[in-house]
Structure 1
Amino acid sequence: MLLKLLHFLDRGLTGLMAAAIIVSTAAIIGLITFLILSRFVFGWSVVGLLELSTLCAIWLYMTGAVLASRNKEHIVVDFTAQAISSPRLQALHELLVAVIVLVLGLFFLSLARDMLGWSFRRPQTTPGLGIPLLAGQGAIVFAAAAATLYALRDVVAGILKLFIPSRET
């Protein structure tokens, strides 16, 4: 029951991330195109377009990082993985990679927590549109939390694969 719920939540999150990637990519393309046209064709200087496109880019990059973590494409060394022929050593290698990613994820989560603490003590906004910097920092916090959860999933799967070899994860 719990696995079905987690699978459902994962599929829902993946759908939301796919939508966020499409929307942010379209927004970046539209905003940067308009920024270039307005400056070089019409001679206008439109305040805030670069801020909005940067905000969209941060969400795009962080969402892409979470999808890479979800798909186990964050740290891939094909040569090492392909050189290992023993199923037990392959499972150990996968577990080692998962533990490294989990440690990095916990460090990333700690940095995100510190960044949020600073932002709440000294709130800042962008100069042109006055967008709170928390709007962009939310992407970093989301990526840190989600990537760490996916890394934890990979560690558990690696442990199960190492100690229950017949189990496919």
Structure 2
Amino acid sequence: MDRFAAILLTSLICIVAMGQFVQVITRYVLQVPVMGLEETMMFPTLWLYILGAVNASRENTHIRANVLEIFLKSETAHRVLAIVGEVISLIIGIWLTTWVWDFTRYSWRVWKESPTLYIPTFYGDVALMAGMVLMMLWSALHLMGNIRDLVKGPSHG
């Protein structure tokens, strides 16, 4: 899974970087802008952004302001705080996922197309649904791991 995520994210970064490079060269050096390049770059950029968030969720490396950890001394208190954080994340995430599901259904029904190349925007819109589902999966797995570690105790963590 780690290797697949690394290859996918690296590929998307390379695609976006290459698209931006082509755009800079053609637009500013050759003075010939490529029509629709921004439109095509929107899709890998959206997927890169969303899958980057999924990767942070998978690695459990989201940016956090864990101020309470400063005042908590025991490993058990840290674990309980992590569990509370994961539960809150899951509640909010599931709530947001219901909104994203409504948006995905709307996007499927309306089937909008990009203005220049007529690419269905659904292919970018669905990234949000895929990302939310994967982030909720990883949050649930981290929650179960934290609960398991709390039950086992600090010596087994």
Q: What is the TM-score when the length of structure 2 is the normalising length? A: 0.89
1:64 is aligned to 52
1:17 and 1:127 mapped to 2: Cα distance?
31
Q: How does 1:15-164 map to 2 (within 5 A)?
A: 15-164=3-152
Structure 1 residues 26-35 or 101-110, which shifts more? 101-110
Q: Where do 4+ consecutive residues of structure 1 move more than 6 Å?
A: none
Q: Deviations over 1:28-63 (max 9, x none)?
A: 111111112211222213111111222111111111
How many residue pairs get aligned? The number is: 156
1:18 and 1:108 mapped to 2: Cα distance?
27
Runs of 5+ consecutive residues of structure 2 not aligned to the other structure: none
What code does the residue aligned with 2:24 have? I
Q: Alpha-carbon deviation of 1:78?
A: 4.3
Structure 1 residues 95-104 or 145-154, which shifts more? 95-104
Runs of 5+ consecutive residues of structure 1 not aligned to the other structure: 1-10
2:60 and 2:85 mapped to 1: Cα distance?
10
SS in 2 for 1:131: coil
2:123 and 2:43 mapped to 1: Cα distance?
8
What code does the residue aligned with 2:94 have? L
2:103 and 2:81 mapped to 1: Cα distance?
33
Q: Alpha-carbon deviation of 1:163?
A: 2.9
Shift of the 39–75 alpha-carbon distance from structure 1 to 2, 3 Å rule, reads closer
SS in 2 for 1:127: coil
2:52 and 2:19 mapped to 1: Cα distance?
20
What code does the residue aligned with 1:162 have? L
1:37 and 1:133 mapped to 2: Cα distance?
27
2:95 and 2:114 mapped to 1: Cα distance?
27
Q: What is the TM-score when the length of structure 1 is the normalising length? A: 0.83
SS in 1 for 2:113: coil
1:4 is aligned to none
Q: Do the aligned partners of 1:75 and 1:97 also contact (CA within 8 Å) in 2?
A: no
Q: Alpha-carbon deviation of 1:155?
A: 1.7
